[in-house]
Amino acid sequence: MSTTDDSTNQQRQKENDEDFIQFYGGKLISSVPLVIFVIWSIVQTAVFQVSDTNGLVVGSVFSLLIGMVFVKGPIVPYANAIFEGMAQRVVATAIIALMWALMFANILQSGNFVQGLVWTALNINVGGSLFPAVTFILTAVFGLAVGTSFGTAVTFTTLFYPAGILLGSNPLLLFGAILSGAILGDHLAPVSDTTIVSAVTQSADIGGVVASRFKYVLLAVIPTVLLYALAGMVLPGVSIAGDTSKILAQNSNPIGLVHLCSLGIVIYLAIKGRHILVTISTGILVATILNIGLGLAKISDLFLLTIPENVWSSGFSTIIPFVTVGSSTGISGAIYSGVTGAFSTSILLLLILAMTQIMSNGGVFELILNWIVENVKTVKSAELAIVGSSAVLNSFFVVHTSAEIILGPYISQLGKRFNVNGYRRANLLDTPLAGVAAFFPWAGPVLLGYGVMSGTLVQDYSWFTKEIVVNTAYIAPFVFYGWFVLIAIIASALTGFGREYTTDDLPEEVSRI
Amino acid sequence: MTESENEGIISRFVKMFHRSKYSGQWMFRDSKPKFKEDDILKIYTPELPDRNETVSARIGDTTIEIKDAPENIGGSLVEIRISHFNDEESHGEAELISFQE
């Protein structure tokens, strides 16, 4: 060992000591901020049924403040850990990708993409018994395009749920199909935040992760479709009266299918390994051109500046298409909503990263890792430990991206210990998430879908009584995709199906991200 | 553009059904992959090596001892050349070619 190496090691040791945070009660106490945050999330969303990301941001700030109380000695390492966690490249990548993906999703929605999908369902003569199976497929296609299970669940609950009920579908089965499609889209979409985070935290490129994920998705999709078709024939619908044809006609327009091009281009470029910003920006550009060129949306639908009437610049409203005069001033439109829709989640991600950095610098991950290393002796048990950790932690989280960011470094270390490669690690991390993402009443898509039913739908349709609103406590058995994909990944860990080592294929880089 | 960047979805999908050049396995991978002498591998060394004299890296449940490895090699991506491999014990020895921290 050379002198240079010795001094390097000494310097590294010194740096580690400076970063280390001591807590009253030992290393486990470093997890106090995160534990408090999880409790806050459960109480806010599950107990009080309040789905508000800003509330979670307040909860995370509160949790960080409480954590300070337990610091032993100087507070500086704790404060430094907050900044260190927030400054990680992984979160910057996730925030930018989330913002771009939301813009793309909103532009597609403004271009009647969902109406195009409805038109397709109507023209292949789908009845109430087959409607849940078809809904699952269409929801998955949309989810694949937009990459967000939250937005997909809201959109399809708004449009497909009342249509399916009118056609005679079983309410729980139909809502389960919507949730299944939403989480499938989120699971496989290259533009999904969970796909991106799972890839980035495992140092893998997104295209490779999506391609290697297909096999698990296929294993789950086939039985899911069959079971929805079968259950649709067995489970009864609810009796209601209403003008089915009118409602469906209002939400049916084949021209929206043109956005399959926008979707196809994004998927193609992502899988070809293009930079994620280039990929989604191209999708945004194509979707915008199609919207405006085919008259699906106006420029003002994408971006609109509403200014007061009595200002000197109000004259511009006659010559600039995205400026208008109105009493309620402000900015609106699909692009604006996409950008601002990412703000709260982005801040939340930064704060959660700060909490996990505190845990890291407080030594709790090392403690857990050492415990696992002592108990995990084989690659099979390591993979099962990864799947189990992901399923359990994601069960408690509303924002699953956050759970993945917390788990990412730990899974990376555990997987690398057995030289499980980045693609496989990303799938072991993200697939259990898809399994449990819609099982619980406090899960984001379930919460948002329920909100649409009990709010918008009850108000909008006279025939839509509160009895038709599903009890989300009973939804888990009907989220078939969740069950099948969970079984697929557990079976995969047990049998070695799809296992890849670094010697098989080492992901090239994250520089592409 | 690298080779992997050129890999399209079809080629990666088909690759799942390809036989591994090292293990001879198809898509169900053995937990104990096998190697042969002079194979050059890129692998990760353990973050917390339970080392005494040599670093032992694992590929699945196969163990490879890296001879004459520096102490700061833990957690690195290393390039090694297999110098000896015992199929029955799933254990091998290798020389270090290079590593990056």
d(CA A210, CA A197): 12
| Subunit contact A501:B27, Cβ cutoff 8 A | no
Task: Report ipTM for this prediction.
Answer: 0.80
d(CA A8, CA A178): 55
d(CA A78, CA A169): 54
Q: Between A15 and A218, whose confidence is greater?
A: A218
Q: Between A510 and A20, whose confidence is greater?
A: A20
Pick among 3.20.20.150, 2.40.160.10, 2.40.50.140, 3.40.50.720: CATH of B32-100: 2.40.50.140
| Out of A5, A210, A500, closest to residue B72 by CB | A5
d(CA A6, CA A9): 5
| Out of A210, A419, A512, closest to residue B57 by CB | A419
Q: Is the pLDDT of residue A135 over 80?
A: yes
| Subunit contact B58:A419, Cβ cutoff 8 A | yes
Cβ–Cβ contact A298 with B under 8 A: no
d(CA A219, CA A483): 11
SS3 category, A124: coil
| Out of A370, A413, A418, closest to residue B58 by CB | A418
Q: Where are the domains of chain B?
A: 32-100
DSSP secondary structure code for residue B66 in this structure: E
- Report the 3 state secondary structure along A181-234: HHHHHHHHCCCCHHHHHHHHHCCCCHHHHHHHHHHHHHHHHHHHHHHHHHHHHH
d(CA A432, CA A434): 5
Residues of chain B short of pLDDT 50, as ranges, are 1-7, 9, 16-24, 49
Cβ–Cβ contact A384 with B under 8 A: no
> Of A2-11, A42-51, A80-89, which has the strongest mean pLDDT?
A80-89
At residue B1, the pLDDT reads 31
* Distance (Å) from the alpha carbon of A378 to chain B's nearest alpha carbon: 6
pLDDT band at A119 (very low <50, low <70, confident <90, very high): confident
* Distance (Å) from the alpha carbon of A184 to chain B's nearest alpha carbon: 18
Spatial neighbors of A332 by CB under 8 A, at least 6 apart, are A304, A306
Residues A439 and A476 sit within 8 Å (Cβ to Cβ) = yes
Angle between helices A76-86 and A3-19 in degrees, nearest 10 = 100
Spatial neighbors of A50 by CB under 8 A, at least 6 apart, are A44
Residues B55 and B74 sit within 8 Å (Cβ to Cβ) = yes
| Out of A210, A370, A504, closest to residue B20 by CB | A504
Contacts of B29 in chain A (CB under 8 A): 496-501, 504
* Distance (Å) from the alpha carbon of A265 to chain B's nearest alpha carbon: 13
SS3 category, A350: helix
At residue A168, the pLDDT reads 82
